[in-house]
Homo-oligomer: A and B are copies of this chain.
Amino acid sequence: MRDFSADHRWLSINTATVRRQRGADWPLAQILDACAARGIRAVAPWRDQVGVAGLAATARQLRALGLELSGYCRGGMFTYTDAAGRQAVRDDNRRALDEACTLAAPCLVLVVGGLPGALAGHAAHREIAAAREQVTEGIAALLADARERRMPLAIEPLHPMYAADRACINTLEQALDVCDALDPPLADGTGRRVHSGALGVAVDLYHVWWDPKLAAQIARAGRERLLALHVCDWLTPTTDLLEDRGMMGDGVIDIPRIRAWVEAEGYAGYSEVEIFSATNWWQRDGGEVLDTCIERHRRCV
């Protein structure tokens, strides 16, 4: 397991962590400058932030600053109620794929969607199994394009509390079942199973830390399918289902233990901090938040 205590070379900042400080959007260009100024080497920007800043301008700035991506956030939301919705989903995901390529992302992260309409408070139906079928079909369609572009797709299982409205893939086991179905392992000639790397998972500790099968499923994923590692912490109490994530070290997740499991499989990429925190971290100066991420990355991850 890598030693993070001496520097922050493996820290990445998901830009949602500092997207809206004290009630005002922090422009993506300024976030990138602030990260680079602190020696942070990687970020994971959100599509809406890139949309405001401009795709080409963001790509140029990233290159100028020497910033890498740890992932592009995000494609997905595959569920729909009619043919027009299905087409809109596919078109939007192809655009996300194009953007990920333009930004030289190592993977496009997929938050797969829940029951159609539920995010707006009006679920079209209660058939989560049907939603899951749409998700699998949507990933299959996108995967064909993604293979051509050589852009890995990272399915992010979301915490079961988001099953209705954000993502109906809720465990690592379930995500890996989809990987096995759409991108089956191949024998490498020596009898070992190998994965293409075209489809894998993003392991966000906030979503999966509770899972009694977590260690076993990380081992099942193996190196080629562990495409991203996201960290933050689970607070007790948690006062909001979406926007009360904790800074690493402030909650109950045994982050180093889980990181050790991931690295034991050969994962050697970034540790990406993604914190939605309406009443705490979003109420602070963005630079203070980044400085805290660096300190906690070294001490608590």
Contacts and interface: CB of A to CB of B under 8 A. Distances in A.
Summarize A's interface: helix, strand, loop or mixed: loop
A36 interface: no
Interface in A199-258: 209-212, 234, 236-239, 241, 251-254
A161 interface: yes
Given A128-B210, A210-B128, A252 B161 contact: no
A160 B174 CA distance: 15
Interface in A46-84: none
A132 to B, nearest CB: 7
A115 B212 contact: no
A123 B128 CA distance: 34
A121 interface: yes
Contacts of A123: 236, 252
A171 interface: yes
A177 to B, nearest CB: 8
Contacts of A118: 236, 252
